[in-house]
Amino acid sequence: MKNHGPYRRTSIARPTESSSTVFLVLRRMRAPLIVLILIFAISVFGLTLIPGQDADGNPVRMGFFDAFYFMSYTATTIGYGEIPHPFTGAQRLWVTLTIYLTVIGWAYAIGSLLATLRDRAFRQALALRRFTGTIRRMREPFLLIVGYGQTGQMLGHALDALGRRIVVVDNVAEHVDTLDIDPYVADVPGLVADAANPHTLGVAGLEHPFCEGVVALTDNDEVNLVVAMTAALIRPGLPVIARTVSPAIEHRMHAFGSPTVVNPFDRYGDHLRLALHAPSSYTLLSWLVRGEGAEMPAPGRPPATGRWVVCGFGRFGHKLTEDLRADDLEVTVIDLNPEAEPGLTVIEGDASEPSVLAQAGLATAAGFVAGTDNDATNLSLVAAARKENPALFIGARQNRPPSAPLFAAMEIDWLLVPSEMAAREIYARLSTPLLWRFLREMPELGEEWAGDTLERMQAYCGMKLGPVWKVNLTAAEAPGLRPWLGAGIALGDLLRSPGDRERRLDAVPLMLLREGETTLRPDDDVTVTTGDQLLLVGRGHTPRALLDTLTNRVVAEYVLTGRHVPAGWVAQRVTGRIPASSD
């Protein structure tokens, strides 16, 4: 049997875009150019046939060169005069006729050219040519974002704030047009095209050596599947992150390589269960994924234990019901066409009808979730449920961004905005991969540990989240520590301030990674050595201060030993205080 290993990297055959614009102009201008040439030819030929007179009254005929020269400046309305002799009446009559003909011909040609310049196909060809040129000239790593809706825009701005370059592909022109007015630090190339076409991804830079990953965020799961599949087949090993709400599509995505699949419906249930059992762990998770500058979330109302009522039994309702029942919670489902499941109470009907909603027994329920795909319906369901039982824990699904003010006014206890949830998870994965590993492993350490971590972060970072960054303790990235790394350095010593080693840096180590093994929130007495990776969170100035320790041996000597060493070579020789050697 043939053993199929990893996919072999192939190339996408693409037509040459460089000449398409020229060919399009020539094709559209073919008739006007033919008309102009015919008018010129007839005018020149007529002037050579009509006899003229010289100064002595002798008959002469104009040569082809003189006739062409005369028509060249006459047709362009320059008009130098009659050459080589004054014209006769017949010649002037012919010239008068040709003047009107050439004006009509030029008007036709210029009008056709302006129409071509305004033509949608021409503008698309011109935009494609500019886009491909921009991609070809890129000389720094970039991420290819496919789908620039709300999720794509949130992710794009977050990555831009980190200094990451992005390239955008979307099939909606209005989405790509927003790139011109969005306040990005760096220019963002955008292409309006069908992402389900592999040629589009090739044009957008999938095969570019500086393309460091693909993020599929369209609102069509099938298109996201095609993007993940194309990336796996054309660039095996290239990191791919794809969004989907369909378990079947997720399974098909995993058939091609190892893409990272983000399902916001799945995350909603997971986060709800985490908040139900470990509110401090959920607070820590939600704070870290919101990005630098985010306020610490206020302690919200904890989800209630008891019977839950879920309106809408689509993909979201199925997954949420599954998560709630996994915690041994009783669930009542209301849907127009529900699928019966063993042990599940199902009410068939429209939940917006008072008589149907009354069958759910909201007065005795603990939680209520409006999870349909219609925002107006969800808002009305929330209002009706709260009227029936003001003590209900309310969850809801917001589908469209314009509805955000309405849901905010309703003061939902637990709001799902799929685009925001997906954007935050992808940001956490892309900004610092160690952060996502920390978020996955952190809930296992319990509530007390999470609460203590929050207290430390507040003490060192304040109420606003500072930068979260990774440190590699290698000879290349931490040359200042080379004399001490081999023997090991106490983490608490490494985090002393370069300005005053008796003061600690405003930083909390969240995780230590060593040879694949993790230590979450390592203590100050933990020893770090060559090859270790640290994940830290701190204030805005802290990364720069720690970088001085990592890269400057003079600073490192003071921080780790308390010994002051002059920075200059001459001063070191004069004083005899020379930095420690790495030998």
Domain count for the chain:
4
Q: What is the pLDDT of residue 124?
A: 81
On whether both 253 and 278 belong to a single domain, the answer is no
Mean pLDDT of 15-24: 64
The SS3 assignment for 228 reads helix
Mean pLDDT of 546-558: 88
Q: What is the pLDDT of residues 241-275, one digit of tens each?
A: 999 998 899 999 999 888 999 999 888 888 888 88
Query: What is the distance, to the nearest Å, from the Cα of residue 340 to the centroid of all Cα atoms in its chain?
Result: 39
Site of tokens 């303790």: 473
Q: What is the pLDDT of residue 561?
A: 84
On whether both 237 and 147 belong to a single domain, the answer is yes
Mean pLDDT of 543-566: 84
pLDDT at residue 454 greater than cutoff 50: yes
pLDDT band at 501; cut points 50, 70, 90: confident
Q: Do residues 576 and 516 lie in contact, with contact meaning Cβ atoms separated by under 8 Å?
A: no
Phi-psi category of 343—alpha, beta or left, where left has phi over 0 and alpha has psi -120 to 50?
left
On whether both 488 and 570 belong to a single domain, the answer is yes
Question: Inter-axis angle of helices 89-118 and 30-49, to 10 degrees?
Answer: 170
Asked if residue 6 belongs to a domain, the reply is no
Q: What is the pLDDT of residues 164-202, one digit of tens each?
A: 999 999 999 999 999 988 889 889 999 999 999 999 999
The model carries a pTM of 0.78
Which of these three, 118, 147, 177, is where a domain ends? 118
Asked if residue 450 belongs to a domain, the reply is no
Residue-wise DSSP of 39-78: HHHHHHHHHHHS-EE-TTS-EE---HHHHHHHHHHHHTT-
Range(s) of the domain holding residue 521:
467-575
On whether both 163 and 54 belong to a single domain, the answer is no
CA distance 49 to 47: 5
CA distance 397 to 416: 5
Mean pLDDT of the chain: 87
Start-to-end CA distance of the chain, whole Å, equals 55
What's the number of CA atoms in the CB half-sphere (13 Å) around residue 233?
13
Query: What is the distance, to the nearest Å, from the Cα of residue 259 to the centroid of all Cα atoms in its chain?
Result: 16
The most distant pair of C-alpha atoms in the chain lies apart, rounded to whole Å, by: 120
Please report, for the domain that includes residue 145, its CATH number: 3.40.50.720
Asked if residue 312 belongs to a domain, the reply is yes
Q: What is the pLDDT of residue 292?
A: 83
Percent above pLDDT 90 for the chain: 48
